[in-house]
Amino acid sequence: MSGSITSAATASNNAATASTRLGGDLNTFLTLLTTQLQNQDPTDPLDTNQMTNQLVQFASVEQQIAMNQNLGSLLSLQQSAQLTAAAPMIGRRIEVTSDHVALQNGSAEIRLPAAGTATTADITVMDANGRTIRTQSVPLGSTATSWTWDGKNQTGTRQNDGSYSVAVAGRTANGEAATVSYTVRGTLTGAERTGSGLTLNMGAVTLGFDSLRSILPES
């Protein structure tokens, strides 16, 4: 589920608060209306059309609040269903769209497309401080290929398992810049519900459920 979706809990709480406020406003309005009707001037009675319009407006707002409450319930059910669906995936290799790779057991994999406009992919791996720790130029083949990072930096020092940002820039045969679409692979280690929906944990990398592209066959 996209992080951009409002959490079910927040939507439900907001709807409940709005419903309570509306109930208080409606009771106040009815009290004032009853008092006004009891004390109105018989020669200049209250405009019934205006009264009806105000009651219709309250009813319309109440329907919208009820709709928001139902939407919050649906979002909660959807997140629960996604969490249940994710459970059998724990421990499986997955492929996702992400600008981070998870170094797990000293290895991380980037999936590269077949050669098109771009014939070479320049891969840059950076640490949490944005420092470049590894670069590699990989020729693109006639079919999709993978580049596996062995967890070592440019000087051959092995890095700790964790989350590392990655950038992939394509180059044409003439050395011109070209766009390259890539994915990353790793082992799914967990899934949980958060304020923004369902998230997947691939080692130290946290991803939205909508970033999942495939579940790889078991070897």
Are residues 148 and 78 located together in one domain of the fold?
no
Query: 198 falls in which pLDDT band (50, 70, 90)?
Result: confident
Are residues 83 and 104 located together in one domain of the fold?
no
- Asked if 209 and 197 count as a contact pair (C-beta separation under 8 A), the reply is yes
- The pLDDT tens digits for 119-141 are 999 999 999 999 999 999 999 99
**In which domain, by residue range, is 15 found?**
8-89
Average pLDDT over residues 155-179: 96
pLDDT reported for residue 1: 35
> Which residue carries 């401080």 as its tokens?
129
Query: How many C-beta neighbours within 10 Å does residue 143 have?
Result: 8
Q: How far apart are CA 49 and CA 8, in angstroms?
A: 39
Whether 3 maps to a domain, the answer reads no
pLDDT reported for residue 152: 97
Q: Provide the whole-model pTM.
A: 0.65
pLDDT higher than threshold 50 for residue 110: yes
Complete DSSP assignment for 132-159 = EEEEEEEE--SS-EEEEE-SB-TTSPBP
Domain end position, chosen among 65, 89, 113: 89
Query: 5 falls in which pLDDT band (50, 70, 90)?
Result: very low
CATH number, domain with residue 148: 2.60.40.4070
